[in-house]
Amino acid sequence: MKKTEKQARGRPRQFDETAALVAATRVFWRCGYAGSSMSLLLKEMGINRASLYATFGNKDALFKRVVERYEKEKESYMREALAQSSARGVAEHLLRNTIDLKTDRGDPRASMAVVHSSSFGPGDIALRTFIRERGDFWREQLVSRIVRAQTEGNFSSNLDARGLALTLKAATDGLLAAAGAGATEVELESIAKTFLGLWPGR
């Protein structure tokens, strides 16, 4: 009996893994990777060090879990955007969802800022690569879709389709930066509307 009680005391305590990941996301979102100390993560997640290591591994592994969780949310609306029937539809969907996700006041998993606000130190090359590869994948998916839209006659063949796709990507990134700097939802909507007003073709 004593051995069983001792083993029970030594086990990491039970907790809500999803809630802990949401809390970790808030910390990484607010402080970036480098600024998110283990003590702060443990405090916000409401768990002890043993529980964190047993469930998520070290800080690097925890960050990857957070990003992978975010990617599932991103994958859903990115695939919806790429499935739109026109290049303009793709742009509208991406801009609209970027605003919706960024201005969500609840679960920060809905905020793309978890990736864009993450800062890394000189020794964090592997994590920097981890993030870049995921961004590169969706960027190239977007480029391919806009190139195809050009062949379908959505906009002039004289335009640089890849450049247009990257301009759209820059616009969504810009919305994130503006929101992070304090822009209101009305202002973000105005930015998106202006951008779409400049979008070529149908």
86-108: per-residue pLDDT in tens? 999 999 999 998 888 765 555 54
CA distances from residue 114 to 5, 30, 44, 66, 67 in whole angstroms, order as listed: 41, 8, 16, 8, 7
Nearest-Å Rg of the Cα atoms of the chain is 21
Decide if 99 contacts 176 (C-beta within 8 A). Answer: no
**Main-chain dihedrals φ then ψ at residue 13, nearest 5 degrees:** -70, 155
Give the pLDDT band (50/70/90) at residue 153: very high
Rounded to whole angstroms, the Cα distance separating 3 from 160 reads 71
Main-chain dihedrals φ then ψ at residue 11, nearest 5 degrees: -75, 145
> How many domains does one find in the chain?
1
| Amino acid 2: pLDDT | 44
The C-alpha angle with vertex 110 and arms to 132 and 99, in degrees rounded to 5, equals 90
- The pLDDT tens digits of the residues spanning 108-129 come to 444 445 555 556 666 577 777 8
Report the CATH number at residue 137: 1.10.357.10
Residue span of the structural domain in which 118 resides: 2-198
Q: What is the pLDDT of residue 178?
A: 85
pLDDT digits (tens, 9 = 90+) for 35-89: 889 999 999 999 999 999 999 999 989 998 988 887 777 778 889 999 999 999 9
Question: For residue 119, what pLDDT is reported?
Answer: 62
| Closest listed residue to residue 169, CA positions, set 114, 60, 90, 105 | 90
The secondary structure of residue 12, as a DSSP letter, is P
| Long-range contacts, stretch 147-154, CB < 8 angstroms, 24+ apart | 149/86, 149/87, 149/90, 150/87, 154/86, 154/87, 154/88, 154/201, 154/202
